[in-house]
Structure 1
Amino acid sequence: MQLGGGRESGNVEDRRGRGGGFGGRGIAVGGGLGSMVLVVIALLLGVDPGVILSGGDPGPARTETQGGGAPPADDEGSRFVRRVLAETEDVWNPVFQQMGRRYEEPRLVLFSGAVQSACGMAQSAVGPFYCPGDSRVYIDLDFLAQMQRQLGAPGDFAAAYVIAHEVGHHVQNQLGVLGRVQQLRASAGEREGNALQVRVELQADCLAGMWARRANDARQILEDGDIEEGLNAAAAVGDDRLQRRARGTVQPDSFTHGSSEQRVRWFRTGLQSGRLEACDTFAPARL
């Protein structure tokens, strides 16, 4: 990606090197991961999946990074995140203006080990996530890099896709999508609730593609191979691929994020159209 000359967002909180904490309430929105990938990552890293998935006491939060203390605020990873977040702001602000609305920019929290959000305490093993309760995206860069290596989804644009997907959840929150889905899920069974969540996640994939298209049209941020990195990242976290890797079988009724094919297709839809209307994943009878 070509972000060297771009501005850096001021909406990043660097909490790396701090303790986690407990409490909070609300429902965090899963990002590019989901429960099955948590199991895969947990097994790969030697972590008890039950602790991660149950929200139980994870033990002491990591309070230092390698080398002692928190990373400097201007390290390469932090600057990359601030530049990608700035690119999302530069896309979504005018989109909302065209709708006659004001885009409330989200804040992005960098953390290490564990973090406290309005949706509760989370370990880095849950992966990047968005909390509607405080309008914040939470990312552990060390874990994100490790996840990319373990799942075979490397590259700077693959990381940018993850950030854009989580910001996509914020866009959904601003538009009222998350609130409406939460109400529907409250009276739905598990199977129907999972199906609704799949539509939420696929829409966030589409919004990430829409962001990439508009940012590139405006500022030519993409380089050769970037699109392939994004598509590869979307495929790597498909529920079918993760389930097959974790247990050798696939159970579509338990999908919460969509299959690899669906995730790639909806990301590509946003990328090719660049239009918000094309990302209505709640309209088709079948995805």
Structure 2
Amino acid sequence: MRGDATEPETEAFLAHRNLLFTVAYEMLGSAADAEDVLQETWLQWVKADRGQVRDQRAFLVRITTRQALNRLRTIKRNRETYVGSWLPEPLLTVPDVAEDVELAESVSMALMLVLETLSPTERAVFVLREVFDVDYDEIAAAVGKSSAAVRQIAHRARRHVDARRPRQTASSNEGRAVLESFQRAVETGDPQALLKVLAPQVVLISDGGGIKHAALRPVTGAERVARMFAGGMGKLDGTITTEPTVVNGNPALLVRLDGKIDGVMAIGVEDGRITGLYYVRNPEKLSHVTSATPLTLH
């Protein structure tokens, strides 16, 4: 076992680091866990026999997938006892992510929540095949299944996700315009203005993690959600300000209470109205909303 990495080994790992992080994050929904997986991947990479590695990218993706799959099985059990609704850890992303429609959809709160309903193996196969276009043989090596089994899993997972994913993805310009209208409505507490920007069957999911106040179950319907914002935001003890931002490649509001970050509210948009609101207040999930996290599919 070698404890020190050579410069070429380090350069090779860093060249693929953003890709590996994106793979791990999409599998886990947690930046903190994804970072841990990358550390484990690095340790495996340093110990590997370089002479046996024909494709460095494929090799690193395979290690990352195995490590993430092991971790996913553990954290999936832990999430069963999570207080209230669970949302992915939000990531502040650079504008390029929002312009990449495929990447923005793959890390959106809406799709990440759909991925939570898959089994760990189904999620790994779906992410590698549908998001990163990894071939079946390579996925089979990563998840420890035959290629034939992986094809069946991929088909099943795709059918499951397609039945639950949003109908369409709004353009970044449309998303920004809707966010501006929503921000004005929230800041004024005007229920009528909120009703104009919310789709009739909008769903609000809030995540306080048992640390901050949040609705324990999803709130459905424009009138109920509008009432919560019209009355609920005013109940926070302090001065509330909101700032437009881009989280997980999609429009969001950074919410501050007396100047300190209190939460992040991401939105999903269809036909010019908000269909999904994802409000993360759990302070343990807000460490990646002040500086951008680079993500990539390549």
Q: Normalization by structure 2: what TM-score?
A: 0.25
Q: Which has the larger Rg?
A: 2
Q: Normalization by structure 1: what TM-score?
A: 0.25
